[in-house]
Amino acid sequence: MGERETWTTEEFGTSHEGAVGVLLADGSVPAPAHFDTGSGPHVQSTSQWSVYDGRFPSVPRAAALRAVCSCGWAGPEHRLDWEAIGEQELAEAADDEADACVRDWDGHTTAVEATTVPLPDSLTALLERLEEEIDQLAKTSPVAAVRAARRTQITAERAGYWAARATRQDLNAAEAAAALGLDEDAARKELARFGHWSPYSG
């Protein structure tokens, strides 16, 4: 997969990394487009949706855009009207369709969050209040806010130690990943980080 603009959320990271995907007229996904930059043997590779305008022989023309996610999810198709696009740059002419893909992916991550293990309302409110308090502190004493953030991090790591170890005993990798909204590899590494064991252990 060539380089392209992607989006993530702070909580789910690359487990749910979104992008605007391209579909051709036959419903297939095009290969990355390659462009010779003229600087030696390096050939730039990209899957950025806006390059698929059919202006180069080796780059096909997109028929539709859709949101895609690293977890395998794909959103609905947003067809491109090439008669209306004409000679415009695709990045500008299809901006509305690309924005619709972002909204579709936002809906996907919201749906993922709804499937994760719920947190008590009291704890959610406490975390929000803590963030607000540190933000307020930063306005008068940034260094004190840094210390507060560091203390929060230490507390989280200490509290997460036994929780991670209990999770490892209670749930298999797939169950833990689903509860956290992560892929299995990311969940394994997160639990190992909190539980202080090697992420490569059994």
Biggest alpha carbon distance in the chain?
61
Query: Which pLDDT score is estimated for 57?
Result: 84
Single residue among 91, 115, 139 that ends a domain in this structure: 115
Element housing 64 (H / E): strand 64-69
Single residue among 96, 115, 134 that ends a domain in this structure: 115
Position 202 in a domain: no
* 106 and 31, same domain (yes or no): yes
Query: Which pLDDT score is estimated for 41?
Result: 61
* 45 and 132, same domain (yes or no): no
Tens digit of pLDDT for each residue in 54-108? 998 889 999 999 999 999 999 999 999 999 999 999 999 999 999 999 999 999 9
Helices and strands (H, E) in the chain, number of each type:
7, 5
Query: Which pLDDT score is estimated for 36?
Result: 64
Query: Which pLDDT score is estimated for 37?
Result: 61
Query: Which pLDDT score is estimated for 39?
Result: 58
C-alpha distances in angstroms, 176 versus 78, 124, 131, 163?
Answer: 34, 20, 26, 12
Q: Are 74 and 68 in contact (CB under 8 A)?
A: yes
Query: Which pLDDT score is estimated for 58?
Result: 86
* 84 and 168, same domain (yes or no): no
Position 1 in a domain: no
Q: Each residue of 79-97: b (16+ CB within 10 Å) or e? A: ebeeeeeeeeebeebbeeb
Q: Which domain holds residue 78?
A: 13-115
Query: Which pLDDT score is estimated for 202?
Result: 60
Local confidence pLDDT in tens for the 202 residues of the chain: 668 999 999 999 999 999 999 999 999 999 999 876 655 566 678 999 999 999 988 899 999 999 999 999 999 999 999 999 999 999 999 999 999 999 999 999 999 999 999 999 999 999 999 999 999 999 999 999 999 999 999 999 999 999 999 999 999 999 999 999 999 999 999 999 999 999 887 6
Round to whole Å and give the CA distance between 80 and 42. 32
